[in-house]
Every structure is written in C-alpha cells, then in structure tokens.
Amino acid sequence: MIDISVVIPVFRVEKYIKKCIESLINQSYTHFEIVLVDDGNDDNSIEIAINLLNIKMFSNYKVIRQVNKGLASARNIGLKQITSEYVIFVDSDDVVHKDFLKTLRDNMRKNDDMSICSFSYIKEQRSELLHVTRANIIELTTEDFLRSYLYRDKSLLVVSILFRRKFLIANNLFFNENMKFSEDQMFLWKCIFSSNMSVYTTAKLYGYFLRPNSIMTSSKYDTISKSCELYKIFCREMNGEYKNYSNICKYIYPRWCLGVLFSSAKTMKKNEYKELYYQLEGRHLLFKLFGFKEVKAVCLSVLVSLSINLSYDICRRVKL
C-alpha cells in the first residue's frame, strides 16, 4: 500500500533530473509514489524522468502538467492532487540516501505532524556522498521546533521533511505563490506554528546540490526585493497572531533580513546590495537582534550595521 507521495516540481533540469530519480528508485522503502509536476517545461526534463522510470519498471508514478507558474505553485498542485497519508517535496536536482524515506517513515509517531532529517550541501550529484553514521532522534514540541529553527541549531530544509498530509490540509498550509525567493522559510514557519509534535534525526539523508544558476545561487535583485516586502507583512501578521511566542516572533524578520543580506552579497552587484541594504534597514539589525542568542548572527549583525561596503566585501568571501 502506497502511503508516501514524493512531489517533484520539474522545470529545465534535463542535466540533473536523472540522478534525482535514480536515488528515489533505489530507496529501501517501497510504499511510495513519485509525483512529477511539469511546470511548463521547454526542454526534455519530463521525458528523461519518465523514460528512466519505465526502464527501471517503476510504475508508481504520475505526471501533473501546468503552464509555468513557479516552484510554489508546482508544489501546491501536487499537494492538492495526492491522497496518500504522507507527503514530501524533493527538488529535481537533489539526491537522497537510500534509507531517506524509510528512516523518516519509521521515525514518524502517531501524534507527529512532521518527521525531519538533516542534510548536506553537495557539489556532486552522488547519493553515496551521504554517509550516515550514528544518529540521534529528538522529539520536538512546538516551542522546541520554533527555537531550533530561529537559532539554526538543527540543519533542516523543507525538502528534508516528511509531512502528514492531513496536517497540511487541515491547517490550510500551502506555499505562497507570490513569493519567488525564500518561500520555503515562510511555509515552514507556518507549519511549525501550526504543529503540536514533530521528530528530528541528525542523520544527513538529503543531499542539496549546489549547482550554478539554481534559485539559491542566482536570485535577482527584483525578485528578492519583492519577496522582502511580502515576508515583512507575513512576519507582522505572525507577531499579531502568536503573542504567546512574542519572544521568538520579534526576531524572525531581522534574522531573516540578515540571512538575505549575507546570501545576496554573493550574487548581487554592490549597487544592488546597497539598495537591498537600505530596504531591509541593515544599519538597524544589531539593535533589532539585541538579546539574540546565536553568536554568529550577532557578530554578522555588528558587521552589517557598521558598514555597507565592508559587509558586502566580507560576505562575498565567506563560504557556506
């Protein structure tokens, strides 16, 4: 019986999708389906995926087609059309460990809304680079999860989380289709605030492939600038709705701004970075993060607050 749907948005990844599909076909867990969402492709990505699935005689797959609307829309339409108990969103250029689905499914307890694993950044699409040593399993209450995500003390991504589908649907948890940058963070904050219990493993079972021209490494100024306004509104709404977590909510937006400036410095020209810096009020981030407990973030906020030029130059040189 199939109880997991793996939703994969597909758009212009003909050079990369084969490795992604291979890593899923080789899963030790077999009760799952692959849902390919064709987001208006103009290359052979979908054909490559389908041919490979047929050659490997993997019949539990379906294809959903739409005009190009972006990653958030592709994930949403996949979520709306599946009926399985659990869902996970995998990016079409990433790879996963052979025990990825089995571990997440085994760890999911009756009352858990999410089962999460750690991940690794990889520069080659090779699932064998994901070495799993002894791992810890940690129970997360809502507040535990909120603090872990805020302070970045657990490595996780939206794509490394197995969701209980009914949890997402009952709480109307979908990706914001107007966000073209950092939509994952907005979605995950909503999920955490809506959750009761989750479980996390330190096993690095997901390989996030750092390829040239991906969304993460090539987002443009206009896209980021528009998303910043949407994220600001979102954080304001959270501050109003979750007053019992005010000590967490007050830091979400400035911590996000800091991360945006850090990553944008690596891809933007200096004049664009300066425009974004003023939009995000970079000079005031140290004040807004006063009392924040993540040392690296506080140190970076000091740098950003002191100098636009110096923060731009240093952030460009520092690696992930």
Strand 32-39 and strand 61-66: the pairing is parallel
Residue with tokens 């460990």, as numbered in its chain: 97
* Backbone angles phi and psi of 216, in degrees to 5: -65, -35
- The sign of the CA dihedral 300, 303, 307, 309 is negative
Tokens of 162: 């197995």
For the chain, the maximum distance between any two Cα atoms, rounded to a whole number of angstroms, is 59
Give the whole-angstrom CA distance, residue 312 versus residue 195.
37
Of 91, 153, 154, 89, give the one whose Cα is nearest residue 122: 91
Phi/psi of residue 237, each to 5°?
-65, -40
Q: How far apart are CA 15 and CA 121, in angstroms?
A: 18
- pLDDT values of the chain reduced to their tens digit, one per residue, 320 residues: 899 999 999 999 999 999 999 999 999 999 999 999 999 999 999 999 999 999 999 999 999 999 999 999 999 999 999 999 999 999 999 999 999 999 999 999 999 999 999 999 998 888 877 878 789 999 999 999 999 999 999 999 999 999 999 999 999 999 999 998 899 999 999 999 999 999 999 999 999 998 765 555 456 888 899 999 999 999 999 999 999 999 999 999 999 999 999 999 988 999 999 999 999 999 999 999 999 999 999 999 999 999 999 999 999 988 65
Rounded to whole angstroms, the Cα distance separating 32 from 168 reads 18
Strands 197-209, 137-141: pairing is: antiparallel
